[in-house]
Amino acid sequence: MTIPLDDIFNLWNIFLLVLVRISGMFLLSPIFGRRNIPNYFKVGFCFILTVITANSITVPDLAAYTSLMSYAVLIAKELLIGLSMGFISYTMFSAIYMAGQLIDTQIGFGIVNVIDPLSNIQVPITADFYIILATLFMLVTDSHHLLIKAIVDSYEVIPPGSVHFGNDAVRQIVDLFYDTLVTGFKIAAPITAVTLITNIALGIISRAMPQMNVFMLGMPVKIIIGLITILITLAAFRGVVDVIMESTYRNIYDFLRNAAGA
């Protein structure tokens, strides 16, 4: 009985290529890449998803990648695709961080920070509150399944070994920063507007009643009004998370098409 070594090597090559792309995606994704998730859970999930995906995709022709250098370049391309997809999902989710920073600066929580387990840095307390809510909304509505679907569908758009990073793909990554800023400002707009009106009202009071210490009065007033506005706008925050996930899903597919040269 002869052992089909060529088939075994081809199966190993496909498995490794799929594993590299999936691992790169989940390394930066906002849900699966959190540092408070045990590493053996991440490794096991990537392994199981790789086994399922590798058996469902079309086997590409890797005859051109015969040398070690060419295969290493192929591995690097697959890893770059996964990292780019994870970066897109993380960048769109970062708009919530920026909105929380703006809100905390306006209502007086700018000096209060907490440790975020995802990035291991100090983040504003309002941003951390929004991130927890957004994560819960994603898990309840199964929006995180869109990221799994995107990484599996990516092999239909870009089979292993057929990626071409052109100017359109690079330009889209740069445009993501602009979209993140716009989304963050939109999330923080209601609280920022209410705080601005409060500051104008306090300014008018200080001119009308100079003997009143507006500075001591303004801090608790802005905090109370800001928290009330946050509670009022929480009803619309679920729609914001849905828009962010839809935008993330659309940007990932646009990137895949641009990277494929379509």
- Mean pLDDT in residue range 209-232: 79
Q: How far is CA 71 from CA 30, 50, 65, 66, 193, in A?
A: 30, 19, 5, 7, 55
Quick one: average pLDDT of 234-243?
82
DSSP for 101-169 reads: HHHHHHHT-TT-EEEETTTTEEEEHHHHHHHHHHHHHHHHTTTTHHHHHHHHHHHHHS-TT-----HHH
Q: What is the DSSP letter of 90?
A: H
Q: Is the pLDDT of residue 70 over 80?
A: no
Token digits for 247? 């935008």
Q: What is the pLDDT of residue 136?
A: 83
pLDDT at position 1: 42
Question: What is the rounded CA–CA span in Å between residue 38 and residue 58?
Answer: 32
Whether residue 81 contacts residue 163, with contact meaning beta carbons closer than 8 Å, is answered with yes
| pLDDT score at 251 | 84
Q: Once rounded to an integer, what is the mean pLDDT over residues 195-215? A: 79
Range of weakest confidence among 62-71, 108-117, 142-151: 108-117
Question: What is the pLDDT averaged over residues 156-171?
Answer: 74
Look over the chain and give the mean of its residue pLDDT values, rounded to a whole number.
Answer: 77
For the CA atoms of the chain, what is the radius of gyration?
24
Confidence of residue 91 (pLDDT cuts 50, 70, 90): confident
Handedness of CA 24, 26, 27, 30 (dihedral sign): positive
Distance of CA 193 to the CA centre of its chain: 27
The two structure tokens encoding residue 237: 């925050």
Structure tokens at 55: 């058996």
Q: Measure the CA–CA gap between 63 and 247, rounded to whole angstroms.
A: 37
Residue 228 has pLDDT above 80, yes or no: yes
CA–CA distance, 18 with 62 (Å, rounded to integer): 14
Structure confidence at residue 22 as a pLDDT band (50, 70, 90): confident
Q: What's CA 233's distance to the chain center, in Å? A: 22
Tell me the percentage of the chain whose pLDDT exceeds 90.
Answer: 0
d(CA 57, CA 156): 8
Please report the pLDDT score of residue 2 as a whole number. Answer: 47
Reduce the secondary structure of 176-201 to three states and give it as a string. Answer: HHHHHHHHHHHHHHHHHHHHHHHHHH
pLDDT of residue 5: 43
pLDDT at 55 over 80: no
